[in-house]
Amino acid sequence: MDSADKSDTLSTAERNSQLILSGSLNKAILSLSIPIVMNNFIQTMYNLTDTYLLGKLGTDEMAAISLVSPVQNIVINFGQGFTLAGSILISQYVGARDEKNAGEMVNQLFTASVAFSFSFAFVCILLTPFIVGWLGAQGNVEKYGCTYLQIVLMDLPLLFMINLFAAVSQAQGDTIRPMRLNLLGVVLNLFMDPLFILVFHWGVAGAALATMLAKAPCAAIALADLVKRNKPVFLELKLHKLKPKADKIKRIVTIGLPTAVGGSTMQLGFLLMTKNVLAYGSSAMAAYGIGNRINGIITMPSTAIGSATATIVGQNIGAEQSERADASYRRARLMAVVFLFVSGMILSRGFVSTAMAGIFSSDAKVIAMASDFLSIMAFCCWTNGVYDTTKGYFNGRGQTVITMLIDAARLWVFRFLTLFIFSYVFKMKERSVWFSVVASNAVSSLILWVIYKLGRSRST
């Protein structure tokens, strides 16, 4: 990175920080969330490329990835809980102009990320055959699932380094460099995926290897950038700096553990959902995977606005501007809900959802199921706007226990309860899964909003 790039990077972070603390809230939200949307879409392209190419190979390959992806996400979400905690604390230190403590937090976050990613990757790789068997997979689905999961788990240290870089950058108001870094990874993956899958005929193993190898140079670049001293907050690779500090670790755990438990518990719920879906056959499993991935793209702007909300609220709380923090949340919530309502009305049209599902499968049965799933989810996806931004508001304030409880309840209480009702009372078969997803998301969003309103009424 030359000197011009350095000055541009610094001015971007400084400009966004000024917007967050004293400028236009609309501009602040958009300045942070648009690069996050692009970054999230770029990251999603890893899985979408696998989904598209493996969908051409067969339904078993598609079902295998859909089945084991929640296992990977459980581990990732647990670790990201602590990364998010560090990002929240760094943003609060940045808002308070306390660069010394912000830098120390980066060092502690690096130590925790390295220890977690290597240890969990090792344990989970050993347990993969047991986990896939417990999910009920058999035959080719079991074989492909084990192969894919064991390989993608090897890239956890690489992924966590990239996520650490993104968290530190975003906390300072810079969401552009993480986007650029992930774009590099996607370009590499787009080249290697068809090479390994279609040319070398490595199937699911090729898809997993392409994803892992694409992340390697990105992780190296992330580490090299983190240690550069041309930013107010950077990583110091010195043993005495990386030694765990009780006060910092305690703050990370206090804020991060609820998020980690909530996120991983939610993903465990997704895992059990896939087990329920698999009972309806591999076609339903493939349709469920396609529907979730496409829905993830549609709701991506809402997720990004929620992440931006956490940063904006965090910096304003650090600067002791609680009213501005609340105003930024309300503005972000309106933007997310309006966007999802409009896009959801479009995607819920049958001909649109069918065309989208047809991109990822040539199986008529899978396309019909995925289209039905998409139409139902899209019609009510605006509730995700409430959920994502309100969750971002509480996370930015460091009130992660609230989001942990709602994350857990969304899957373990609301989703499984509605799944039981739709499946055993109304006998809706695979559609019971589709409606349980919508119902649980709506209920969770309402509860989060009510908690926010009750908190506001007590503070006024």
pLDDT tens-digit series, residues 348-388: 888 888 988 888 777 888 888 888 888 888 888 899 999 99
For the cut 50, the answer to whether the pLDDT of residue 5 exceeds it is: no
Classify the C-alpha dihedral 169-225-74-48 as positive or negative.
Answer: positive
Q: How many domains, the chain?
A: 1
Alpha carbon 185 to chain centroid distance? 17
Residue range(s) defining the domain that contains residue 281: 26-459
For the cut 90, the answer to whether the pLDDT of residue 452 exceeds it is: yes
Task: Indicate whether 3 belongs to any domain.
Answer: no
Task: Indicate whether 156 belongs to any domain.
Answer: yes
For the cut 60, the answer to whether the pLDDT of residue 9 exceeds it is: no
Task: Indicate whether 239 belongs to any domain.
Answer: yes
Predicted TM-score (pTM) of the model is: 0.71
235 exposed, middle or buried (CB, 10 Å; 0-12, 13-18, 19+)?
buried
Q: For residue 169, give every residue at least 6 positions away whose Cβ sits within 8 Å of its Cβ, in sequence order, or none.
A: 13, 175, 177, 178
- Tokens 């929620």 correspond to 306
- The pLDDT score that the predictor gives to residue 48 is 67
Lowest mean pLDDT among 50-59, 148-157, 328-337: 50-59
Distance CA 421, CA 425 (A): 5
- The pLDDT score that the predictor gives to residue 13 is 66
CA-closest candidate to residue 455, choices 312, 325, 316: 325
- Tokens 């899985």 correspond to 47
Task: Indicate whether 383 belongs to any domain.
Answer: yes
Task: Indicate whether 444 belongs to any domain.
Answer: yes
Task: Indicate whether 13 belongs to any domain.
Answer: no
Q: What is the mean pLDDT of residues 218-245?
A: 88
Task: Indicate whether 435 belongs to any domain.
Answer: yes
For the cut 60, the answer to whether the pLDDT of residue 184 exceeds it is: yes
306/400: higher pLDDT: 306
The answer to whether the beta carbons of residues 93 and 263 sit under 8 Å apart is no
Residue type, 45: M
Q: What is the mean pLDDT of residues 151-180?
A: 87
- Tokens 């609340």 correspond to 326
Distance CA 271, CA 44 (A): 19
Task: Indicate whether 5 belongs to any domain.
Answer: no
